[in-house]
Amino acid sequence: MNAIQDNLKAVGERIEVALARAGRAPGTARLLAVSKTFAPEVIQKAYDAGQRSFGENRVQELVAKAPALPSDCEWHLIGHLQRNKVRQALGVATWIHSVDSPALLERIQRLAEEVGAAPKLLLEVNVSGEESKIGFVPDTVEAALAEMPAGPAECVGLMTMAPLGADERTLRSIFGGLRQLRDSLQDRLGMPLPELSMGMSSDLEAAIAEGATIVRVGTAIFGRR
């Protein structure tokens, strides 16, 4: 086995152990391999080991690399999306985790219609209230969802990032906060929001304990960037 294959296996095991500890069914959190900064040849090794979902944080890099990989890869945009890059992003990404304003939501919906795309969207929420972080303030998510224009793009859940180096208690409170927000939005809006995208290489266990359905893991698979 090569290192990437080993790493994928190890991360897969971490996910299953965390699910079992949380009393959750096997396979209920899936792995998004974050391939940003890594070359297509490196990403191909993960593909050859069976991985199909990949996350990139820059549109330019996403559109440059995706054509070099097999067409059954599923591409997720996880970084901030500028409004003037939406059209390009929709050409490749079938998931966008980083929807962070009503204006962006509206533009994605309009262009998805125009180009015939039906992306799955996650609203990025700044649960920790850190000033440096982008994303919706928790209080503003309900209005954004309620006022989301109709169209082919579908909002399937929420995403968050915990601050680097946060301790276990802080991590649990941020990830738990995203889950509670999701639960209350589902109740209040009667809208299914099944996906919680949270947890990375260093904190995926805490995220899974709090209900993550997608963990976004880069370093633990591909090595240091």
Ligand X SMILES: *Cc1c(COP(=O)(O)O)cnc(C)c1O
Min CB(31)–ligand X separation in Å: 11
Q: Is the dihedral of CA 154, 155, 157, 159 positive or negative?
A: positive
- Which lies closer to ligand X via its Cβ, residue 116 or residue 224? 224
- Nearest distance in Å: CB 143, ligand X: 24
Degrees to nearest 5, angle at CA 53 with 216 and 193: 65
Three-state DSSP state, 203 = coil
Q: Which is nearer to ligand X, 193 or 200 (CB)?
A: 200
Which residue number, 140 or 201, has a Cβ lying nearer to ligand X?
201
Least separation in angstroms between residue 65's CB and ligand X is 15
Q: How far is the CB of 1 from ligand X (least distance, A)?
A: 21
* Cα gap 144→99, rounded to integer Å: 11
In the block, which residue shows the tokens 């593909």?
A: 47
Closest residue by beta carbon to ligand X: 218
Cα separations in angstroms, 112 against 41, 65, 105, 154, 193: 30, 22, 10, 10, 20
Give the nearer residue to ligand X in terms of CB position, either 60 or 219.
219
SS3 137: coil
Distances (CA, A) of 210 to 66, 105, 161: 32, 26, 13
Identity of the residue, 49 or 198, whose beta carbon is nearer to ligand X in the bound complex: 198
Q: By CB under 6 A, name the binding residues for ligand X.
A: 34, 36, 57, 78-79, 161, 200-202, 216-220
What's the closest the beta carbon of residue 30 comes to ligand X, in angstroms?
Answer: 14
d(CA 26, CA 46): 21
* Contact predicate 158/174, CB 8 Å: no
Least gap, CB of 161 to ligand X (angstroms): 6
> What are the tokens at 215?
């963990």
Choice between 7 and 109, CB closer to ligand X: 7
